[in-house]
Structure 1
Amino acid sequence: MSLKPTCKEVHRLTSEGMDRQLSLVERMRVRMHLLVCTACQNFTAQMQLVRRAMRELLPPADQD
């Protein structure tokens, strides 16, 4: 594992971060990468948008 993550790794961590808590090291690596990579900034924003949209479209789990 290098200090500078690749875009592929940041995409993976962004996706995983939607389902689990990333470690402090993982979060810091992603944040550092996002400071310099607009493509990954866009990807992260799109993932967050999709997540919010899905929450609004789907009924809560306790309602059937």
Structure 2
Amino acid sequence: MSIKPTCREVHQLTSESMDRDLSMVERARMHMHLLICTACRNFTEQMQLLRRAMHEIVPTDQDENQERPPR
């Protein structure tokens, strides 16, 4: 494990951070990479935006009134 992770590792850590708390070492390595890599910074910001958007989705009345398929 090098001090500065690759873009692939940062993408993996970004995904994992959605499900669990990263360790202090993981966060530090990711932060170091994001300071210099615009592409990974954009990817991380987009993932955070998608997560916030998914949390804000509230079913509308129309969605609730639609017939649901049997299970």
Tell me the TM-score normalised to structure 2 length: 0.79
User: For the residues of structure 2 that align with 1:54 and 1:45, how far apart are their CA atoms?
Assistant: 14
Superposed, 1:19-34 pairs within 5 Å as 19-34=19-34
Q: Which amino acid aligns with 2:36?
A: V
Give the distance between the partners of 1:7 and 1:45, measured in 2 at CA: 14
CA shift at 1:11, angstroms? 0.3
Counterpart in the other structure of 1:2:
2
1:39 aligned counterpart, secondary structure: helix
Q: Does 1:12 align with 2:12?
A: yes
Q: CA RMSD in A?
A: 1.1
Q: Which residue of 2 aligns with 1:38?
A: 38
Moved over 6 A (4+): none
Counterpart amino acid of residue 53 in structure 2 = A
Q: 1:14 to 1:3 in 2, by over 3 A?
A: same
> What amino acid is the match of 1:2?
S
Unaligned ranges ≥5, structure 2: 60-71
The normalised TM-score by structure 1 is 0.88
Mapped to 2, the partners of 1:58 and 1:7 lie a distance apart of: 34
Distance 1:47 1:58 in 2: 19
